[in-house]
Amino acid sequence: MKLKGVIFDIDGTLIDSNDAHAHAWVQALAENGFQVEFARVRKMIGMGGDKLLPQVTGLQKDEPKGKQITERRAQIFKQYYLPMVRPFPHTKELLSRMRKDGLKLVIATSAQPEELNGMLKVARIEGFFQEAAQAEDAPKSKPDPDVVQAALQKSGLQPDEVVMLGDTPYDVEGAARAGVKTIAVRSGGWQDADLKDAIAIYNDPADLLNHYDTSPIGER
């Protein structure tokens, strides 16, 4: 079927924020008695807190201590890191090209609404998306397919009418489990071997834009 839409991960895909999220987690964990190396947390960015927190602390996100850490992470990110995040070069131009081509642009992220809105505003790309599936729309974060399925439902499109753009193996797996193919970007810090199940891999949004006409999006 003809490609009608693109589902986007945001962190590490359109916005250079993966390191910022990892630092916020490390600081929140340390304040609550958990010393976790940055490198370990960094490899988990792309999952939601429902996955990350149990792996590094044994706590569940919805128990009191888990909630405390999760809320503190959000506070730290908003206060110290959100003002500094920026979109990757030519992100706006890529989104503009897709909209010009009549594609429906939909977000699939584990971020909370306030955090997502803040990032989109700082990056000045908030006006490009017609729909957004967020943490509140998906009981389980990637690599579970919940948020991608929620994005599909909000878009009104079928799995074979969209492609996902993501930066982590969690994006690729989550999309695949929802029946959606993924175009991956290396801008989130992952290697090609980690993204091998994507149908195409580009360096970043600028690289995808530069090869747009020969990409799976441009060839539709």
Residues present in the chain in total: 220
Q: For tokens 């506070």, name the residue.
A: 75
- CA atoms of 118 and 132, how far apart (whole Å): 14
Q: How large is the average pLDDT for residues 146-156?
A: 97
pLDDT band at 220 (very low <50, low <70, confident <90, very high): low
pLDDT digits (tens, 9 = 90+) for 158-169: 999 999 999 999
Predicted confidence at residue 79, as pLDDT, reads: 97
CB-based contacts of 127, cutoff 8 Å, min separation 6: none
* Res. 219: pLDDT tops 90: no
What's the pLDDT at 135?
Answer: 87
Spell out the alpha helix ranges (H) of the chain.
Answer: 18-31, 38-42, 49-57, 64-76, 91-100, 113-123, 146-155, 169-177, 205-210
* 143: preceding bond cis by omega (within 30 degrees): yes
Residue 1 has pLDDT above 70, yes or no: no
